[in-house]
Structure 1
Amino acid sequence: MDTQALLVWFQAAERPLPWRKEGTSAWGVLLSEVMSQQTPVARVAPVWEEWMSRWPTPASFARASRAEVLRAWGKLGYPRRALRLWECAQVLGDEPVPDDVDKLLALPGIGDYTARAVACFHYGHNVPVVDTNVRRVYARAVSGTFLAPGASKKELGEVATLLPELQGPRFSAALMELGALVCTAKNPDCAHCPLRPTCAWFQDGCPPPNEQELARAKKKVQKFQGTDRQVRGLILDVLRAAAHPVPQADIDVVWPDAAQRSRALASLLDDGLAEQDPSGLFRLPL
């Protein structure tokens, strides 16, 4: 892989994301990485800026109630991430966000990708950071194949072999940016890709995925309309908008299927995203 070509491209193409500004804290980087999981950065950026203004440190965030956190999370999706961040802040308190991958992994809600991203992008440690974008770039540029569903530990080792001794963290950010902007899942812009001269997939004529790859890709597509996830979101909308606990009747109007509605509400209660008070009313967790 042509490291220099990728870095030159990144110098010109890097998006001015707010968490990339000089002076962003480790907490700010951690927030951005958790918020950006399965969520477009265009939706994340304004919420991230609001959170950093309101809760600039783990200690300030830990003092918020869970209801405040879930209201501030808004429509980012997968709201359990918000509560896991809150739990993480409870553990950190006044302590700094650690720079060691293993110590980061010990925090609630921090997985392998987030731990490595914070260690790499904030603290400058030259560790591989592998998300779907990086996996896709590696599969095409190095292996000449389509991205297989399901990440594996061996990919960390494969990407680690690409990291230059100098500018390793910037190279990792560039790989990720290339996958987000150019080497996209659909309609990759090979004409403007800095890796085109050495890309194994391009050199092979950009072959389409075979039937097995297409079948795996179709299985990965997650529907939203009509799912329990959608119903959970509608119920949470009611609870977020309410200044006081609400009766069952306020929840019943959001979805016609009583069985699915009941199942979604029960899962919110199980996940700690909603509570039922002694009088039988529903609210966000305190």
Structure 2
Amino acid sequence: MQQDSQSLPEEHLTEETSQPLRELATLTRDNVALFWHSCARDLPWRFGHTTPWGVLVCEVMSQQTQMSRVVPYWLTWMQTWPDAQSLAHATSAEIITAWGRLGYPRRALRLQSCAQVVATRYRNKLPCTYEELIALPGVGDYTASAILSFAYGKHIAVIDTNIRRVLMRAFTGTESHGGSTTQSDRELAAAVLPEDNHVTAATANATNTTNTTCTSSVWNQAIMEIGATICTARSPQCTACPLQTWCRFKAAGFPGLGRHTRPQQHFAGTNRQVRGIILQALREAHKKQQVLQRCEINNLWSNQTQLGECIASLDHDSLITILPDGTLALP
């Protein structure tokens, strides 16, 4: 669920410099809304198909994970634990097993910690203010903003990698280089966000409307979808993009297309891979109500030093239990 100082010109946006961006964005509204309602993927957490809690689960699962991979896990997860209260009472072993191969499994334990707070402090209802959401375990700025916009229809800018890329390209004519979200990114997102004037709460929430009003919620979700499916990092499909008529990046000849400040990270041979192998073996053992024997552990990875380091790190993260005889189990 990010940007360097080259994201925007060095000067911050002022009311004077924001106005042309706002006017340009206004021209795109109808196309963006039409795209959302006619072309966006009908994922199971969109268009009123789930609760605010379901939106939170989706956002946590989709951090650094493709939506296509998330769908089957999300469906099984929500069928097993449809709300915060049910997840709060699950065991760590059940949660880690259900998380499967989504990666970054500490997210699963943080999600349960979040569920426990929601179940007890908020009586099983996900809060609807930024301050309350950001205070929940595992919920950062992006996730809090996404829940407010996607689930509650609140007027707030949402910024992730895809949204930032589309806004940078379409409205500033420059490439997004990755990295952390900057103040300039926030100013741009706020400048082009629809105002939601004279919009009812039901209409403002994109998940509950079938009309083509471009609310701020529709805008955020549509821009994210454009970035995920059309305006991709390396191969933008401009002919399918609802912003193509006004896109300054296209007009400028795609300067710096696909250039990033950080190289792509490799997976093979990393501790992430080894940790994943260990956890998968433990999931299989857990399903059989067994522990992982020492000989089985040693056969998981040829580099025994790296294997030991990964076992220690998993134990430190409370993702596994090292038993007195050296065998391993899920907690």
Structure 2 unmatched ranges of 5 or more: 1-24, 197-214
2:189 to 159, 167, 174: 159
CA contact (8 A) 2:168 2:175 kept: yes
* TM-score, normalising length: structure 1: 0.94
Q: RCO higher in 1 or 2 (8 Å CA, sep ≥ 6)?
A: 2
1:28-43 alignment, distance < 5 Å? 28-43=54-69
Structure 1 unmatched runs, 5+:
none
Equivalent pair of 1:144/1:200 in contact (CA under 8 Å): yes
1:116 deviation in Å?
Answer: 0.7
Kindly indicate whether the alpha-carbon contact (under 8 Å) linking 1:149 and 1:220 is maintained by their aligned counterparts in 2. Answer: no
Deviation at 1:153, TM superposition (A): 3.7
Q: Distance in 1 between matches of 2:277 and 2:231?
A: 35
Q: How does 1:79-158 map to 2 (within 5 A)?
A: 79-93=105-119, 94-154=123-183, 155-158=185-188
Partner of 1:59: 85
Following superposition, the deviation at residue 277 of structure 1 comes to 2.2
Question: Structure 1: how far apart are the matches of 2:41 and 2:270?
Answer: 34
Identical aligned residues as a percent? 43
2: CA distance between counterparts of 1:280 and 1:227?
24
d(CA) in 1 for partners of 2:292, 2:300: 13
Residues 99 and 123 in structure 1, CA contact (< 8 A), matched pair in contact too? yes
Choose which of 32, 41, 46 in structure 2 pairs with 1:6.
Answer: 32
Distance 2:325 2:158 in 1: 48
Q: Is the 8 A contact 1:232 1:264 kept in 2?
A: yes
Q: Are 1:187 and 2:235 counterparts?
A: yes
- Residue by residue over 1:214-238, the C-alpha shift from the partner in whole angstroms, topping out at 9 and shown as x without a partner, is 462xx34111011110000001111
| Contact in 1 for aligned 2:175/2:259 (Cα 8 Å) | no
* 2:224 is aligned with 1:176: yes
Equivalent residue for 1:253, pick from 290, 293, 299: 299
- Separation of aligned partners in 2, 1:23 and 1:16: 9
Q: TM-score, normalised by structure 2?
A: 0.81
- DSSP-derived class of the 2:115 partner: helix
Aligned counterparts of 1:125 and 1:99: Cα–Cα separation in 2: 9
1:198 counterpart SS class: coil
Q: Which moved more, 1:114-123 or 1:158-167?
A: 158-167
Residue 44 (structure 1) aligned to one of 54, 58, 70 = 70
